[in-house]
Amino acid sequence: MNYQKISVAFVATALALTSFLAPLSTPAQSSSAADIVLVLPFENVSNHPEYNWVGESFADSLSALLNKPGLIVITGDERVVAYQRLRLPLTVIPSRATSIKIARELKATMIVIGTYNVTLAPVPDDKSKPQVDRSIASIIGEARVIRVNEGRMAGDMFDSGWAPRVYDFGDVLTNIQHVHGELAYQILYQRDRALSFSRNQLVQEATKVPPQAFEAFMKGVQTQETDPTREIFLKNAMRLYAKENGRAVYSQAAFELGRFYMLRSQWKEAIEHFTMLQKTEPHYGEAQFYAGLAYWKTGDIQHALATFVPLADEKVMPLVGVYNNAGAVSVTAARDEKKAEERTRLLAQGFTLLSRAFDSSPDDSTVLFNYAYALFLNEKYAEAAQQLEKVIAANPKDGEAYFLLAKAHERANHTEPANAADNLARKNFPSYARWQTEWQKSQSVEMVTLRSRDVLNQVDISDLSRRKQIDEANANSAQELLNKIRDLYNKGRDDEALAEIPKLFVIEPTNAEGFLMRGRIKQRQGEQETAIAALKTAIFWDSRVIDAHILLGRIFLERGDLGEARKYAASAMNIDPNNPEAIALQRQVTMGRP
């Protein structure tokens, strides 16, 4: 997909349009919610369009790497859905009004954009004319972060004012993942100077996929969804990954291959690839959903049941499509079950799940049809007829719904509506004669095929992920976490305290005391530079945190920097001239005066 022109226009329009939304002095983050980050594909400004995949690679990798405590990252799928919702072609340069709509649609507080240029190494040919070696490519570019609510680029606050930050990058193309890791670290460090992980750790995270496998994957996902070339790229990505990682599975490529086969109705191949994903991996829930659907399509009801029902746990994947399919498969299994007790259990399970689907989406005709069928099997004929009327209202040509409606009215002793529905079933349902013969023989409607939801809404999946993050974060209040951090610090359990601080920042990204505690721990561990960064951040968010001023003064005094030490001693005294520690620091820096 081509997003290159969008990113440049977005910078200008975001700056122009959001400048009136908030004054420049507005804090960079809300104290009550994490930042929501949108990474747009970087723009290829070279004359080598064959390297457009590099721009999407920045969006894909940075979205994963920036997904850290305090940040919620908008997925690529969600980004595409937003354009579709706004009926915006992916290649269009958005107007000012459209650009602000995109920002509002995605509710992004941070936007990462960038440009890059590709150069190819020149090599002579037999005629001594300059040629290019396409196997040796390098890139150079720059990235920016836009603070949407402030209407400006992210940067640094100096005594002289605000300085926007531009992130420069460059390397040979085979090191593109290393570039991603470096850039992600710089963006995260700019936002939080006291990170709980190192630059090397983030680069290692970025480069865990072999370069050739990564390139093949990125080219594959940018190929049309049903294009055979997509399969070639993705299979190659999996092969290269397995070769370099002891035959391990490249889960992202496996998931995309599963989707490719699903779209081509190659159910066996789809199941094979979807079931390669592990519970801890991204897209696991989606993969299970589609594997269950593929099992259902092949008539393997038992495997479909075993796959769908665990997903339908309200704590796992409480989505309409999951409830619908799990309920429909449960009812289908109940019809096939010979043991009365198990049949009753499965039918009750199916009815419960379809009821949840109905409660979540009462106007969805697929859900309504299945729910009506479950009501019919539970001998709630009048209620079944009521839901079937809604199905027919959505599709007046639905012969199967007319047939079931006629039987529901018949069982409810509604003779006139039953006859009317039966007449319409005869006109609209090609299989009417066969079904009617079966009905007359068995008085059952087991010939009905329950209806599946074949696609999960990507926005629903993203929203679910966000809700889980927020719920987990809010399980403990900020104050409770602070108390726990203080207690661990006082007991000398510094590493445990550090592990709790990111959880605090998910709830309150601008919590000054959290940065103070990080500064104290890092100072005690001898990491003065990290401690200074954390303490300065604490002061940035709350200039009256006197302990941060005092500790900074002590650190600079220990380093022999009397000028900085005196500055922080004076600021501490201005906050509270009666504070014993501030007074002691003031005496120390005075004694240290040459």
Q: What is the pLDDT of residue 23?
A: 29
pLDDT digits (tens, 9 = 90+) for 84-122: 777 776 655 444 445 556 767 788 888 888 899 999 977
3-state secondary structure of 110: strand
69 vs 234: CA distance, rounded Å? 31
pLDDT at 19: 32
**Residue 457 confidence (pLDDT):** 77
Q: Sketch the domain layout of the chain as residue ranges.
A: 4-208, 210-299, 314-462, 463-591
pLDDT in tens, 291-308: 999 999 999 999 999 999
* pLDDT at residue 123 in the model: 63
More confident call, 69 vs 145: 145
Contacts for 52 with CB less than 8 Å, ≥ 6 apart:
2, 4, 44, 222
Q: Give residue 133's pLDDT band: very low, low, confident or very high (50, 70, 90).
A: low
Closest C-alpha to 357, from 335, 330, 333, 382 = 330
- Model confidence over 492-540: pLDDT tens digits? 999 999 988 988 887 777 889 999 999 999 999 999 999 999 999 999 9
CATH level 3 topology of 463-591:
1.25.40
SS3 (DSSP) at 201: helix
At 25 the pLDDT is: 30
Q: In the structure, what pLDDT confidence band is assigned to residue 12 with cuts at 50, 70 and 90? A: very low
Token pair in block for residue 2: 């081509």
- Give the model confidence (pLDDT) of 488-501 as tens digits: 999 999 999 998 89
pLDDT at 100: 57
User: What pLDDT is recorded for position 10?
Assistant: 36
- Alpha-helical (H) ranges within 222-319 are 228-244, 251-263, 267-274, 284-297, 301-311
Q: Among 1.25.40.10, 2.60.120.650, 1.10.357.140, 2.60.40.1120, name the CATH number for the domain at 314-462.
A: 1.25.40.10
Which CATH number describes the domain made up of 210-299?
A: 1.25.40.10
- Looking at per-residue pLDDT, the higher value among 589 and 316 belongs to 589
Tell me the mean pLDDT in the region 197-214.
Answer: 93
pLDDT, residue 18, reads: 34
- Alpha carbon distance 197, 183 (integer Å): 15
Q: How much is the pTM?
A: 0.71
Mean pLDDT of the chain: 85
* pLDDT score at 16: 34
Residue type, 160: S
Cβ burial 385-422 (10 Å sphere, 16+ → b, else e): bebbbbbbeeeeebbbbbbbbbbbbbbbebeebbeebb
With a cut of 50, say whether residue 351 has pLDDT above it: yes
Position 254 pLDDT exceeds 50: yes
pLDDT for the residue numbered 127: 54
- For residue 316, what are its two tokens? 């796992």
Least confident of 152-161, 413-422, 440-449, 465-474: 465-474
Please work out, in degrees rounded to the nearest 5, the angle formed at the alpha carbon of residue 205 by the alpha carbons of 203 and 211.
Answer: 80
CATH of domain 4-208: 3.40.50.10070
pLDDT greater than 70 at residue 467: no
pLDDT of residue 93: 43
Percentage with pLDDT > 90 across the chain? 61
314-462 has the same fold as 4-208: no
Does pLDDT of 368 surpass 60?
A: yes
In tens, the pLDDT along 385-404 reads: 999 999 999 999 999 999 99
Whether residue 562 is predicted with pLDDT greater than 50 in this model: the reply is: yes
Mean pLDDT, residues 349-377 taken together: 95
- The C-alpha angle 503, 509, 515, rounded to 5 degrees, equals 80
**345: buried, middle or exposed (CB in 10 Å: 19+, 13-18, 0-12)?**
middle
Residue with tokens 């340069």: 93
